[in-house]
A and B are shown apart, each in its own frame.
Chain A
Amino acid sequence: MDFELSDDQQALSDGVRAFLDGRLDMAGVRAYETAGSLDRDRWQEMAGTGIFGLRLAEVDGGVGLGVADAALVFEELGRHLVAGPLVATHLAAGSFPGAADGSAIVGLVDDVEDSTPVLVEHLDSLDLLVLCGPDGVRLADLDAVRGAAMPIEHPTDPLTPVHRMPAMPAGDVVISGDEAVDFAMAGTTLTAAFQAGLALRAVELSVAYAKERIQFDRPIGGFQAVKHLLADMLVAAEVARVAVYSAAVHLDDPSVGDVDRAVRAAKVVAGEAAVKCGKTAIQVHGGMGFTWEVDAHLLLKRAWVLDTHFGTADHHALALADAL
């Protein structure tokens, strides 16, 4: 057993971070809000680094890596708050042409049977839309969806534009059986990785602010009332991160333990860490934290969005309880 990152994994994580630091700063990420659709050049550039085709075999134009490696990449994407259907496009690579090389942006809707409105994310930027449900993965008729969908004027997360559908779209099953289970499990884990990244970013942002914000003649990070909030954030974020790594390693090698439990635990713990850290980031930033200008609200809003992907924390907690 060696649960530390291998040298290759560390290099992968550092490489993605350096790329995103250089090419997708917060101004770049925030540009989506006014542009209304995703920046295709940037998307292609991301695809060029291999983030979508990471797990495809090299003969299929991929990098031949595992879910653990992909989790490191999605943690960094989360840390940088990158917008767009990243997990869905990554999952679609291999099954849908164009996803791996960035020429097709693939959206995803969780096909859950309930009576609440159907909301589709990033619709104006999509080339394909897949529906992930109990019978497998279906491909929606995108033109029909576009024809019926109504835009939501004020999406909660400005970087996650949303349309409302009158009903869940139909579509033919394109992935089923074990392959569909793998699709959902990897999607759950990589979403959790993104959530862990959001939590870690919230810690970094808040710690930096607490070190420079002076009140009562000293940095507020010196007061225990504030530093204990920050410590609790770090604890939540770090626990989330290892839970995600563990889930990913389980998916790559199911012989190491209970895959289902590891994956569900990661989604619960990372989902809650992202929400908790997003909220606390706003609190630590005080009045500034409540402004549009400070990034803290974007972290929290994305955390709220992602909790609904591939099953909420509560959904997975109930499943874990049943399995006790």
Chain B
Amino acid sequence: MDLRDSPSDAAFRREVGEWLDATLPSLPPKPPMDDFEARRRYDTHWQRTLFDAGYAGINWPAEHGGRGATATEQLIFLEESERRRAPYVGSNFVGLLHAGPTLIAEASPRQQAAHLPPILRGEHVWCQGFSEPAAGSDLASLRTRAVRDGDEYVVSGQKIWTSFAQIADFCELLVRTDPDAPKHRGITWLIMSMDTPGIEVRPLRTVHGSPEFSEVFLDEVRIPVGNRVGAENDGWRVAMVTFSFERGTAFVSELLGTRRLVADLKALATTITRRGATAWDDSGLRSDLGHLDAELEALWALTKRNVSQAQRTGVPGVGGSVFKLSYTELRHRLADVSRRLLDRMVLSHDDLGEWPTGDHMHGLFHALAMSVAAGTSQIQRNIVAERILGLPKEPPWTSS
């Protein structure tokens, strides 16, 4: 067990740090949360900046234009970036971390040449058309139908929880091509251009009050067969391949950001006076925050272990589910502590002048999303119990 940077990792850390220090001051100001066009401009500009410096697609193989960095270098890059509050992937999330890696693993050379470079250069934004109103945790039961008509698939159905749909150029779309096959075996993975006729994007207001997601309605959308990735009816496997690209670094920025949030909460507590003492004089609050800090330290160690494991074996372990469950739980408890500290200030979602409470209010809602998005905590527990502990699956439900 060795946590030191190797000489080459240390050199990489220095190089990244120097580049960030030189580059970040000239960044434009952050756009408002609900101006999606401005967010797209900001995120794609940052992506282009990374591309020009040779840091685009840091986890992508070099033959596809990425940096081909080791998992450790990826971790270092994210760590140094977050330390300086550099932008994260933003609206490039699906292209860089999901659709792109899927194309690298499964697409034809022609498809790769058409789509990978524009993702790396910040020219194409992607969204994900997986979940449906009736297919959430049970994703494989999706119903959006694709019927072959000559060289095209004619697609009708509805997708939901689609982040950045209103500003995306392309969508990684899962459709049902064989309704008679067992549910995992009748699914196909398609590239859908978002300017195809028949697509209607309806923004969906989340509990934040802003349209973070959209519903996407598909009415006889014609998609060329040449946009299919992998074989017809093999789309479930294609979609699952992507998860092997995640090398334990998915939550690095989150984790370091949460550490800052905990420190900010302490700073806030020292300025709040109640009943003749500061809120920080309350040992209950200090104990709660100390416990959270301990867990953050432990999860940082877990991240390093997951990255080391991925680096040795090439595939991510099941550590991802362990991490997500633990981290989600932590965010919920942090939200509870924040709310107790804020007291009447929870009535405002916005910063209150000299009281910087907005980030903590955002955290209250973020926790609610964490335990649902990308596999609910209940599904994650099933994964841990069945795949790590080898416990039997629950038998299928039958009406009787």
Residue of B266, B389, B395 with most chain A CB atoms under a 10 A cut-off: B389
Tell me whether A3 and B305 are in contact (CB under 8 A): yes
Within 8 Å by CB of A232, from B2, B298, B325, lies B325
Q: B72 CB to closest chain A CB, in angstroms?
A: 5
The answer to whether the Cβ of B399 comes within 8 Å of any Cβ in the partner chain is no
Contacts of B388 in A (CB 8 A): 234
A203, B300: Cα distance in complex, Å: 23
A4, B291: Cα distance in complex, Å: 26
The answer to whether the Cβ of A219 comes within 8 Å of any Cβ in the partner chain is yes
Within 8 Å by CB of B389, from A9, A231, A236, lies A231
Q: B140 CB to closest chain A CB, in angstroms?
A: 18
Q: CB within 8 Å of B: which of A12-40? A: none
A256, B304: Cα distance in complex, Å: 12
Tell me whether A68 and B1 are in contact (CB under 8 A): yes
Q: CB within 8 Å of A: which of B341-393? A: 378, 380-382, 384-386, 388-393
Tell me whether A231 and B287 are in contact (CB under 8 A): no
Which residue of B is nearest A227, CB measured? B385
Within 8 Å by CB of B6, from A1, A235, A324, lies A1
The answer to whether the Cβ of B63 comes within 8 Å of any Cβ in the partner chain is no
A261, B75: Cα distance in complex, Å: 21
A320, B288: Cα distance in complex, Å: 10
A221, B385: Cα distance in complex, Å: 9
Tell me whether B389 and A230 are in contact (CB under 8 A): yes
Tell me whether A235 and B289 are in contact (CB under 8 A): no
A234-260 Cβ-contact flags toward B at 8 Å (1 or 0): 111011101101101110010111000
Q: CB within 8 Å of A: which of B285-340? A: 286-291, 293-295, 297-302, 304-305, 307-309, 311-312, 319, 322, 325-326
Q: CB within 8 Å of A: which of B1-47? A: 1-6, 9
A228, B386: Cα distance in complex, Å: 10
Q: B298 CB to closest chain A CB, in angstroms?
A: 4
Tell me whether A207 and B295 are in contact (CB under 8 A): no
Contacts of B266 in A (CB 8 A): 321, 324
Within 8 Å by CB of A318, from B5, B287, B299, B378, lies B287
The answer to whether the Cβ of A265 comes within 8 Å of any Cβ in the partner chain is yes
A96, B382: Cα distance in complex, Å: 50
The answer to whether the Cβ of A11 comes within 8 Å of any Cβ in the partner chain is no
Tell me whether B287 and A222 are in contact (CB under 8 A): no
The answer to whether the Cβ of B56 comes within 8 Å of any Cβ in the partner chain is no
Contacts of B319 in A (CB 8 A): 238
Tell me whether A269 and B283 are in contact (CB under 8 A): no
Tell me whether A265 and B298 are in contact (CB under 8 A): yes
Q: B45 CB to closest chain A CB, in angstroms?
A: 32
The answer to whether the Cβ of B262 comes within 8 Å of any Cβ in the partner chain is yes
Residue of B75, B384, B395 with most chain A CB atoms under a 10 A cut-off: B384
The answer to whether the Cβ of A322 comes within 8 Å of any Cβ in the partner chain is yes
The answer to whether the Cβ of B394 comes within 8 Å of any Cβ in the partner chain is yes
Tell me whether A218 and B392 are in contact (CB under 8 A): yes
Tell me whether A321 and B4 are in contact (CB under 8 A): no
Tell me whether A243 and B262 are in contact (CB under 8 A): no
Which residue of B is nearest A69, CB measured? B1
Tell me whether B381 and A232 are in contact (CB under 8 A): yes
A309, B384: Cα distance in complex, Å: 32
Which residue of A is nearest B311, CB measured? A2
A232, B384: Cα distance in complex, Å: 9
Which residue of B is nearest A210, CB measured? B391
Within 8 Å by CB of A221, from B262, B263, B392, lies B392
Tell me whether A222 and B290 are in contact (CB under 8 A): no
B69-91 Cβ-contact flags toward A at 8 Å (1 or 0): 00010010000000000000000
Which residue of A is nearest B297, CB measured? A265
A222, B386: Cα distance in complex, Å: 9
- Chain B residues with a Cβ under 8 A of chain A: 1-6, 9, 72, 75, 262-263, 266, 283, 286-291, 293-295, 297-302, 304-305, 307-309, 311-312, 319, 322, 325-326, 378, 380-382, 384-386, 388-395
13 chain-A/chain-B pairs, Cβ below 8 angstroms: A2-B2, A4-B305, A4-B312, A243-B301, A249-B1, A257-B3, A261-B293, A262-B301, A314-B287, A317-B293, A318-B286, A321-B289, A324-B266
- Chain A residues with a Cβ under 8 A of chain B: 1-6, 9, 68, 203, 207, 210-211, 218-219, 221-224, 227-228, 230-232, 234-236, 238-240, 242-243, 245-246, 248-250, 253, 255-257, 261-262, 264-266, 268-269, 272, 313-314, 316-322, 324
Told that A218-B395, A261-B293 touch, could you supply 10 new A-B pairs with CB distance under 8 A? A1-B2, A3-B308, A227-B391, A234-B322, A238-B302, A239-B295, A266-B298, A314-B287, A317-B289, A320-B293
